[in-house]
Structure 1
Amino acid sequence: MPARIAIASLMQESNSFSPLKTTVETFASYYLLHGEEMLTGYGEARTEVPGFFAVLAKAGAEAVPLIAAYAAASGTVTRQAFDTLVGEMERRLRDAGPVDGLLLALHGALVVEDQPDGDGEIIQRMRKLLPAATPIGVSLDLHGHITPLKLQPNVFHIGYREYPHIDMYETGQRTAEILLDIVAKRRPMPAMALAKRPLLVSPVCTRTTDGPLRPIAEEARRMERAGEVIHAALFPVQPWIDVPDLGFAALVCAEDAARAQAVAEKLAEMIWRLRSDFFPDLTPLEEAIRIGLASDGMTLVSDAGDAPTGGSAADSAAVLRALIAAGADRAARLSYLTICDPGAVAAASAQGAGAEVTTPVGHYFSKQDGAPVTITGRVLSLSDGIYKMTDGGPNGLELSMGLTAVIAIGSIRLLARSQPSMEWDKAMYVSQGLPLEDAALVFVKSPAHFRQSFGPLAARIISANTPGPTAPDMRRIPFTKATRPLYPLDPI
């Protein structure tokens, strides 16, 4: 009989400092797929669950889809929403009958109002529903918050290898392949080992393509190629969650428990020795604007402090205010930026394309973090804000910015949208009639992932030291629950 493998996914990256709460409606605004809807609901997206399906189909195994919910990054998840979604996962797993294994696609940094490790609770609840010997394979984002709660019996974990995240689909494939090997008794259940260090680093400087993390990631890959371990994952962690035991983790999957622990400790110690190198090179916002307006080519600027993929509301007016103060609206070349503000979009929509609109913009959600800027501009276009990622990692994934307006404020092009969404792919701008080659300055609310898509078109890339709930300078984050001491907040 072919193996029967249950598949489920509940993915959200929490931010303890976001003004937004994550509800079932938040998940539904991205995607919420029930049962067999999962088989076609991903479309062409190259993410973990399609990777699961591909491996099972090739092996002739039966996929038993349960539920798939995704909410990108936002504030903490309400207990009601969490129990609603996990409850459905539990019910569908019970109703599925006997299965030979379970594949879970999780983020790893989901925080519930009353549970600092929501992903760990999911794994624990699924483990209790299955026979003790039934294997569970879990795929995790490289920014997961790894705790002992995740290390349940007969559960193995496979993390992304790359940041920017260009291997989501491949991570799903690796996880499914290992699970099928276990089910077919081609390999024993691997041992998992965790090692952590009290280190917080900004995603601005944890790329695996360059910078201080690259040699450590390369050592992990060397160990895998040499057969020393099955998988060695590095987790720089989502740094904007205010939870105990926050830190940089190495999580190793190996056939031997002692070897797994030794390798995890080796990688964690390599990271710790380089801790002073993991501080981002940040430029004051005003200086970044000056450079962009005065230089040839396109200057690409990371507004990391307001990154929706870190959980920000993406509604800060800091960049818009600084652009106007610097005279970018009167410059000879264009400047692009985005702000999530449903009120400003509604005002633009009421006036219509081609009309002039005067409206406050910014801090629609994060009123405690700043004041809006009142602008007068011409509405260049209105759209439903739907576009498809083409070269930002999970290619083929369809995203929605909600009702969207492009407003010209002199030489500034403001892409105002109704809901926050990841700013990884240049299709965000291009889909709204804003080709990047026309701009002197392009702002992206992302700490690092944007480099994959936007980077090849830029003459230079600058990380601005912008404020917000995803501030790239870790010392600006007002932690109250994180275990201390914690570098670089504290001298260690």
Structure 2
Amino acid sequence: MSRRVAVGLLMQESNSFSPLATTVATFENYFLHRGEAIFGAGFERAHIEIHGFISELRAAGVTPVPLLAAGAFAGGPLTEAAFDALVGEMESRLREALPVDGLLLALHGALVVEGGARRGDAEIIARLRRILPPDVPIGITFDLHGHITPEMLQPNCFHVGYQQYPHIDIYETGQRAARLMVDTLDGKRRPVMALAKCPMVVSAVCARTTDGGLVPVVAAARRAELSGRVLHASLFPVQPWIDVPDLGFAALVCADGDVAVAEQVAAELAQAAWNQRDQFTPELVELDDAIRIGLSSEGLTVVSDAGDAPSGGSAADSTAVLRALLAAGAERGKRLVYLSICDPAVVTVAQRMGVGASIEVDIGHYYSRSDGAPLRISATVQLLSDGRYHMRDQDMEIGMGRTVVLAVGALRLLVRTLPSFEWDVAMYLSQGLDPAAAALIFVKSPGGFRHSFGKWAQRILIADTPGPTCANMKRIPFTRVTRPLYPLDSLPE
């Protein structure tokens, strides 16, 4: 009889400072698939962890048993009702699936429940662990920005994190975890875990694995794996916009039966990260300077509006960039400038008026009214769409909700109804905006955009913009984190 491994996904990257409430409806707007629907042709093409699980299990002759795949876009902490509903459904489906030989679970690691008293991902792991017999292994994947705590190291659970940021190995991380599950069931491996942390948060701008201060630490992790000392060495610069105790950089190491080795390597990697702490100060450019450089330079300038990044939980509705562009007279320039903003009310007006119509609207701060005021603009409606496009790196269909393109002189505003990833240049291409025709493109992402947009850019700048995802760690209004915490505080060597 074929072995059976349950597979599930419950992921959201929370942001304690986001104005967006996260409910079950938030998951339904992104994706929420139950049971056999996880195998659906459309969803199964998504290049994410759970389908990495499934492909690898099937290749090994193991039957994947689908539970629940619930993914929400980054936003505010989950309501307790939403958390209990989704975790409760996962528990019920796991009980109905018994007996199983293992469980593979995709989590983010930075899921926060409102109120702050409950540790989201750790509670999910503990509740599912209690359902399974002690000898049934659980394999868990985490985003590189997960907030890893000791409570997550439940008995007979192993963990595998993303290796790359920008996140281009999401599917492959699922495959790595599934291969270890198969080897564990075959008796070839006996995974054990160790965790080491240091009191430091890293700006998402500086958390890239391709360049910057993290590179030597990543190289040390890969050497530990290639040498055979450990099975997996995962690094977690952490989601820096969650206001919770014990926030910090984590090294999470999986070894084959030898806890002492896992502990040693985890300690080495955490120390290596701490030694690099001075390399994690982001190189930020004032917004006005970024605009000046973009408008006066040859080729395309891509600017990160890091403070308003929906991939980190922002509402993506700030007018800071638009105000600065208008103040600089960018709408009167000869070259095009692209930027995006989330405003359902403006989309509704534009769609009612139709392509070619001239409209006057108040735009911006639809959700984040406490952080700023809408801006009055006059614009021409250039395009209407359903906002769907294909993210090439993730091989995944994504939706921005109903979307319009507005022209304000040389400015092109991509206005959408839903916050969504700004990682792929296809978000602009799909709406008729050719990057090759622009002098300046703003992207609401601190780092995930680089892999796609970097292929078009003559230069990339990170603007020191305000918002729930600001890149300057010293500007984040923490109240609950454990202090001291670098770079907020001075710490001894």
Counterpart in the other structure of 2:451: 452
User: Is 1:429 the equivalent of 2:428?
Assistant: yes
Amino acid in the other structure paired with 1:318? A
- Contact conserved, 1:109 with 1:117, CA < 8 A, in 2? no
Amino acid in the other structure paired with 1:32? L
User: Is 1:60 the equivalent of 2:65?
Assistant: no
Counterpart in the other structure of 1:49: 50
Per the TM alignment, residue 117 of structure 1 is displaced from its structure 2 partner at its CA by 2.5
Counterpart in the other structure of 1:469: 468
Per the TM alignment, residue 30 of structure 1 is displaced from its structure 2 partner at its CA by 0.7
TM-score relative to the length of structure 2: 0.98
Per the TM alignment, residue 346 of structure 1 is displaced from its structure 2 partner at its CA by 1.1
Counterpart in the other structure of 2:357: 355
Counterpart in the other structure of 2:439: 440
Counterpart in the other structure of 2:216: 215
Counterpart in the other structure of 2:389: 387
TM-score relative to the length of structure 1: 0.98
- Contact conserved, 1:308 with 1:420, CA < 8 A, in 2? yes
Amino acid in the other structure paired with 2:109? G
- Contact conserved, 2:206 with 2:280, CA < 8 A, in 1? yes
Q: How many residues align structurally? A: 488
Rounded Cα–Cα distance in structure 2 between residues aligned with 1:478 and 1:280:
18
User: Is 1:96 the equivalent of 2:103?
Assistant: no
Counterpart in the other structure of 1:482: 481
Counterpart in the other structure of 1:14: 14
Equivalences for 1:148-297 in 2 at 5 Å? Answer: 148-188=150-190, 190-255=191-256, 256-297=258-299
- Contact conserved, 2:27 with 2:72, CA < 8 A, in 1? yes
Secondary structure class of the residue paired with 1:463: strand
Describe the superposition over 1:23-46 as per-residue Cα deviations: whole angstroms up to 9, x where unpaired: 000001010000000012524221
Rounded Cα–Cα distance in structure 2 between residues aligned with 1:399 and 1:46:
12
Rounded Cα–Cα distance in structure 2 between residues aligned with 1:74 and 1:320:
23
Equivalences for 1:290-439 in 2 at 5 Å? Answer: 290-391=292-393, 394-395=394-395, 397-439=396-438
Per the TM alignment, residue 72 of structure 1 is displaced from its structure 2 partner at its CA by 2.3
Q: Tell me the C-alpha RMSD between the 2 structures.
A: 0.8
Rounded Cα–Cα distance in structure 1 between residues aligned with 2:66 and 2:111:
21
- Contact conserved, 1:132 with 1:153, CA < 8 A, in 2? yes
- Contact conserved, 2:38 with 2:44, CA < 8 A, in 1? no
- Contact conserved, 2:213 with 2:280, CA < 8 A, in 1? yes
Rounded Cα–Cα distance in structure 1 between residues aligned with 2:114 and 2:136:
30
Describe the superposition over 1:259-294 as per-residue Cα deviations: whole angstroms up to 9, x where unpaired: 101110111001111111101000000000000000
- Contact conserved, 2:26 with 2:73, CA < 8 A, in 1? no
Amino acid in the other structure paired with 2:427? M
Rounded Cα–Cα distance in structure 1 between residues aligned with 2:220 and 2:150:
24
Amino acid in the other structure paired with 1:153? P
Unaligned runs of 5+ in 2: none
Secondary structure class of the residue paired with 1:27: helix
Secondary structure class of the residue paired with 2:455: helix
Amino acid in the other structure paired with 1:112? V
Unaligned runs of 5+ in 1: none
Per the TM alignment, residue 116 of structure 1 is displaced from its structure 2 partner at its CA by 4.9
Rounded Cα–Cα distance in structure 2 between residues aligned with 1:36 and 1:117:
29
Secondary structure class of the residue paired with 1:363: coil
- Contact conserved, 1:136 with 1:155, CA < 8 A, in 2? yes
User: Is 1:85 the equivalent of 2:86?
Assistant: yes
Secondary structure class of the residue paired with 2:12: strand
Describe the superposition over 1:334-392 as per-residue Cα deviations: whole angstroms up to 9, x where unpaired: 1000000111111111211110011011100000001111100100011110111113x
Counterpart in the other structure of 2:143: 141
Identity percentage of aligned residues = 60
Per the TM alignment, residue 97 of structure 1 is displaced from its structure 2 partner at its CA by 2.0
Secondary structure class of the residue paired with 1:287: helix
Equivalences for 1:34-45 in 2 at 5 Å? Answer: 34-40=34-40, 41-45=42-46
| Stretches (4+) displaced over 4 A | none
Rounded Cα–Cα distance in structure 1 between residues aligned with 2:372 and 2:459:
29
Secondary structure class of the residue paired with 1:266: helix
Rounded Cα–Cα distance in structure 1 between residues aligned with 2:109 and 2:430:
31
- Contact conserved, 1:116 with 1:243, CA < 8 A, in 2? no
Amino acid in the other structure paired with 2:25? E
Counterpart in the other structure of 1:110: 111
